[in-house]
Amino acid sequence: MSYSTDRMNEVRLGKKHVLTTKQLKYMAARLQGKTKEDAKREAGYSENSSTKTIEETNGVQGTLKTALEKVGLTDQIIADKLRKGLSTQKTHLVSFEGKFTDEKKTDDNDIQHRYMRTILEVRGDLQSGNNMQLNLGLIGLQAGENVDTWNTEPEKKTA
């Protein structure tokens, strides 16, 4: 009976999770903040390997979750932080003659957008990468067109 090198180098973490050498290297790279693609290369996976498949493996997924929980990042704490991030505001200060006279709080759309993007990526609703495409149902206008005229019938040219 023959085993792959990865199978022979399995590491058991706790009672639940078994990881191969590649999976351990991948996980270590991800925990260091590297991108999925960089972690895949560093762990020795082929370019054709799917990072989604790597991360969906029970051992990798379970071990990452266990590691996060051990440092206090439970599902509830993560959800609370993400929820708080969606209501982030910024303060605008108004000054007159060198003195602050007023302040106004508004939604920090840039930060809220980053939180929403993170949530969608974690849920798997949004795939990130260089070729990300998200269809928002927008209509492209040709140069010289405006919103008022984009839906009118084109004029017929007579010869």
Give the helix/strand (H/E) hosting 114. Answer: helix 109-123
Residue ranges covered by each domain of the chain: 1-71, 74-127
Enumerate residue ranges in the chain where pLDDT < 70.
1-17, 58, 123-124, 127-159
Looking at the DSSP bridge assignments, the partners of residue 12 are 18
pLDDT of the residue at 17: 57
pLDDT of the residue at 63: 77
pLDDT of the residue at 110: 93
Q: What is the dihedral of CA 115, 117, 120, 125, to 10 degrees?
A: 180
pLDDT of the residue at 156: 55
pLDDT of the residue at 44: 93
pLDDT of the residue at 57: 77
